[in-house]
Amino acid sequence: MTTSTAISSVRQGEPVGGEHIPGPNANIQDLNARTTSVTSEIGKAHQLMLERGDKLSQLEERTERMANEAQQFSSSAHLLMNKYKDKKWYQL
């Protein structure tokens, strides 16, 4: 078979030697799949970001509450110390 005969025997758009030659739809399908994957990952990241924000808010509130309670404890301890500082052990 000559070169011209081999070229003319292959039809336009058919794979040569059993290879799959992707057409324009394959690229679009690949892009759609990748877009779906990226969209899903962005959604997950957004959800995790919101959860992290909620946890940070809760932690901030808890920290503020603990600081207030520590201040109250300090004040109570100071008052108690002042009440008993001039008394002797046998006067208690």
Taking CA atoms, 57 is separated from 43, 54, 61, in Å, by 21, 5, 6
Does 11 map to a domain?
A: no
Q: For residues 61 and 69, is the Cβ–Cβ distance under 8 A?
A: no
Does 17 map to a domain?
A: no
41 Cβ neighbours under 8 A, 6+ residues apart: none
Give residue 2's pLDDT.
52
Does 21 map to a domain?
A: no
Taking CA atoms, 3 is separated from 10, 11, 15, in Å, by 11, 14, 17
How many structural domains compose the chain?
Answer: 1
pLDDT of 91 higher than 70: yes
Does 91 map to a domain?
A: no
Report the alpha-carbon distance of residue 19 to residue 13 in Å, rounded: 11
Does 14 map to a domain?
A: no
Give residue 88's pLDDT.
77
Find the domain containing 71 and state its range: 32-81
Give residue 36's pLDDT.
93
Report residue 25's pLDDT band, with 50, 70 and 90 as the boundaries: confident
Give residue 48's pLDDT.
98
Q: H helices of the chain, where?
A: 3-9, 24-84
pTM: 0.54
Q: 5-14, 15-24, 42-51, 77-86: which range is least confident on average?
A: 5-14
Instruction: Give the chain's largest Cα–Cα span.
Output: 123
Q: Which residue has the higher pLDDT, 32 or 21?
A: 32
